Amino acid sequence: MRNQAPAKREEMRLIKAYQRVALGGGFPNPERAGCPGNEILRAMAFRKLGLDQVNDWIEHLGTCSPCFREYTELRKQVVWRRRAAYLSIAAAVILSLSLGWWMWRSRPPAVITAHNHIVADIRSPLVLRGDQGPGKGPLVFPRGFDDVTFYFPEGSRAGTYEVAILRQEFGEPLTRTSGTATIENEMTKMDVVLDLSRIAPGYYSVGIRPLGTDWSYYPVIVK
């Protein structure tokens, strides 16, 4: 284990060694006489030797330009690897947070299994979102499995109707069903079961149409 206490003193001695090499015009050593070798220089650069093991070599670095250059390059590798490790950790943290956020945003809404009975009276015009004209507000459907009784506008014919919940008009249905409308006491009504167990709360449109005809849309709040 490297003795950490005198690390600052070791750094100061290395700075002085650098000054002797740089300001002294360099100390060529083409024969590499007395040089410690790459393994020791690497161990020094990577701080794997204690102060008592590097004392003599620090003095040598101050009188041997080739060794000091090699040591300096090895220290650059240490700094680069440390920075790369920090960047990798930071990238992993960011990726983890981003993935968690995406999973949270894209998770399916909790399934609500409650059974509700709803009366949806669409005999009078309903106010579409953004409209300011007179009329009723949007229908309100609780999440779950809704037994819905629709009261249709006057003159609606009996027969099979489709019902769908859409995010917006002309969009793909999020859930759909069908039922048979009947006329009782001159009133057209229909009972259906709408599966809203997986629909997130929010504003939607409910589309209703006889088979083979165009949809009529009404605003609805799922809550």
Query: Would you say residue 74 has pLDDT above 70?
Result: yes
Q: What is the pLDDT of residue 63?
A: 78
State both tokens at 56: 């003599």
Q: Which segments within the chain are labelled E, that is strand? A: 115-121, 139-141, 145-151, 159-166, 173-184, 187-195, 202-210, 216-222
- The lowest-confidence range among 76-85, 103-112, 153-162 is 103-112
Query: Would you say residue 129 has pLDDT above 70?
Result: no
Look up residue 184 and give its amino acid: E
Mean pLDDT of the region 126-149: 71
- pTM greater than 0.75 (yes/no): no
If phi over 0 gives left and psi between -120 and 50 gives alpha, with beta otherwise, what is residue 15? alpha
Q: What is the pLDDT of residue 106?
A: 64
Most confident of 15-24, 84-93, 139-148: 139-148
CA–CA–CA angle 197, 198, 204 (5° rounding): 95
**Annotation: CATH topology of 115-222:** Immunoglobulin-like (2.60.40)
Mean pLDDT of the region 192-205: 93
Bigger pLDDT: 198 or 11? 198
Which helix (H) or strand (E) segment is 23 a member of?
Answer: helix 7-23
Mean pLDDT of the region 32-45: 87
Angle of helix 7-23 versus helix 51-61 axis, rounded to 10? 10
Domain ranges of the chain: 7-105, 115-222
Closest Cα partner for 214 from 178, 162, 173? Answer: 162
Q: Are 164 and 209 in contact (CB under 8 A)?
A: no
Bigger pLDDT: 127 or 147? 147
Query: Would you say residue 39 has pLDDT above 80?
Result: yes
Q: What is the pLDDT of residue 2?
A: 46
Bigger pLDDT: 182 or 23? 182
Mean pLDDT of the region 91-111: 77
Query: Would you say residue 134 has pLDDT above 60?
Result: no
Confidence of residue 97 (pLDDT cuts 50, 70, 90): confident
State both tokens at 52: 């008592």
Confidence of residue 183 (pLDDT cuts 50, 70, 90): very high
Please provide the average confidence, as pLDDT, over all residues in the chain.
82
Q: What is the pLDDT of residue 212?
A: 86
